[in-house]
Amino acid sequence: MKINVNIDNATLYEEDFYLWLESTAKLLRNRQLENLDYDNLIQEIEAMGRSEKHSLESNLIVVLMHLLKYKYQPQKCSRSWLSSIFEHRHGKKGFQASNLRWRKF
């Protein structure tokens, strides 16, 4: 099934990002590679990777800080520290070990 692209995907990217995402996904599913907006698609994939990496780094910093505080300042331990440690250890917040694919981190 061919998708009729009435508007240039690069223009669509600038005018309606969500519609661009839907259109790009349909084009990929239907293997209509000739109609893809490669420049913006590459840019979005790279940005998604940077965002995921930043999120992982931030979550690791938070849990490490709470673990260190828990170990070296137990008298100041709060429920939020324990909750954070629990959530991160059990994959309920931030990231899960199965999603880690970073070879150079």
pLDDT of res. 42: 96
CA 104 to the chain's CA centroid:
17
- Residue 91's H or E segment, with its range, is none
pLDDT above 70 for 12: yes
What is the pLDDT of the chain when averaged over all its residues? 81
pLDDT of res. 75: 87
Band of the pLDDT at 77, cuts 50, 70, 90? confident
pLDDT of res. 39: 95
Q: Tokens representing 22? A: 């839907």
**Distance between CA 68 and CA 35 in Å, rounded?**
52
pLDDT above 90 for 57: no
